[in-house]
């Protein structure tokens, strides 16, 4: 009878650990890691949106970010953050271009 109780307790513990692991996997997969969040806040006026993420290797990932209509591709690593490209939707105006000094 004692061996049966020990086996039942061990199997119950493994089952609960499996449930916790499965729930953690689901929450990590769908809560902002490239998928839609499970909980919506109702706020629609956000300026910054993560459009897509791709894991390059175990330490680096590429993130496509949209801010005010401009898209930026950023490489994120353990100690660095590097902007790869920037797709600006707005064209610079002639006033914002540096002009040569006039004599």
Confidence band, pLDDT 50/70/90 cuts, at residue 91? low
The pTM of the whole model exceeds 0.85: no
Residue 96 within any structural domain of the chain = no
Q: Are residues 58 and 75 in the same domain?
A: yes
Q: What is the pLDDT of residues 49-62, one digit of tens each?
A: 889 999 999 899 99
Residue 35 within any structural domain of the chain = yes
Q: Show the domain range for 28.
A: 1-40
Residue 25 within any structural domain of the chain = yes
Residue 55: strand pairing partners: 61
- Cα torsion for 71, 51, 47, 24, to the nearest 10°? -150
Residue 50 to residue 59: CA distance in whole angstroms: 19
Q: Are residues 4 and 35 in the same domain?
A: yes
Residue 63 to residue 65: CA distance in whole angstroms: 6
Residue 102 within any structural domain of the chain = no
**Structural domains in the chain (count):** 2
Q: Are residues 12 and 31 in the same domain?
A: yes
Q: What is the pLDDT of residues 12-48, one digit of tens each?
A: 999 999 999 999 988 877 765 545 555 556 666 778 8
Q: CA-CA distances (angstroms) from residue 5 to 8, 11, 12, 17, 70?
A: 5, 10, 10, 18, 62
């Amino acid at each position: 009878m004692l061996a049966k109780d020990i086996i039942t307790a061990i199997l119950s513990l493994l089952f609960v650990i499996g449930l916790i692991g499965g729930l953690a996997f689901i929450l990590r997969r769908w809560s902002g890691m490239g998928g839609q969040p499970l909980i919506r806040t109702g706020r629609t006026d956000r300026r910054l949106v993560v459009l897509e993420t791709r894991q390059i290797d175990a330490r680096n990932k590429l993130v496509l970010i949209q801010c005010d209509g401009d898209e930026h591709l950023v490489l994120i690593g353990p100690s660095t953050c590097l902007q790869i490209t920037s797709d600006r939707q707005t064209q610079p105006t002639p006033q914002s271009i540096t002009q040569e000094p006039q004599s």
